[in-house]
Amino acid sequence: MPPSFVHYGLEPPVEGHGLGGLFPPDLTGYHDGAEVSLPVALELVRAMLRDHGAWCRLEAGDVFTVHVGYDQHVYVGSDRPCMDAVVRTRELGPFPEAMSASPYATPLEEPEVTEAACSFSVSSVVP
């Protein structure tokens, strides 16, 4: 099944959806449940924030998640409090807000949903 790409028209499309150098030209490895390294995960977030056309949910099990919305809001989830990260984020300029869940989290308890679309497993998360 070919990957679907999202483009909201904020920036001109980029050849290869901003995935050049992250995956082979035929996008082998860009699929639901693929495991990617932390550097590749960071580049995927960068491509989504630059509106290159790629979109996915990055998840390290129930420990850590990163979702980028169509409005380029970033939703970061963790299984533990991250007050130092919140303070540092505020210092850098963005305005973090506490939320109970990302609006892009897939409720996998629904019987017809077997796997989140375009989710990646980050293979090494640095605490």
pLDDT band of 124, cuts 50, 70, 90: very low
Q: Is 46 helix (H, G, I), strand (E, B) or coil?
A: helix
Instruction: Give the pLDDT mean for 29-41.
Output: 88
Give the pLDDT score at 10. Answer: 57
Task: Read off φ and ψ for residue 65, nearest 5 degrees.
Answer: -135, 150
Task: Indicate the pTM of the whole model.
Answer: 0.68
Per-residue confidence (pLDDT) for residue 115, from 0 to 100: 41
E strand or H helix that includes residue 34: strand 34-36
Work out the burial of residue 27: count CB atoms within 10 Å of its CB; fewer than 13 is exposed, 13-18 middle, 19 or more buried. Answer: middle
Instruction: Give the pLDDT confidence of 44-62 residue by residue, as tens digits.
Output: 988 888 888 788 888 888 8
Q: In this model, does residue 66 exceed pLDDT 50?
A: yes
Report the percent of the chain where pLDDT is more than 70: 73
pLDDT digits (tens, 9 = 90+) for 71-122: 778 888 888 888 888 888 888 887 888 787 788 887 655 444 444 334 444 4
Q: Which residue has the higher pLDDT, 118 or 64?
A: 64
Region for residue 14 given its phi and psi (left: phi exceeds 0; alpha: psi -120 to 50; beta: otherwise): beta
Rg for the chain (alpha carbons), in Å?
15
Provide the CB-side half-sphere exposure for 55 (13 A, CA). Answer: 17
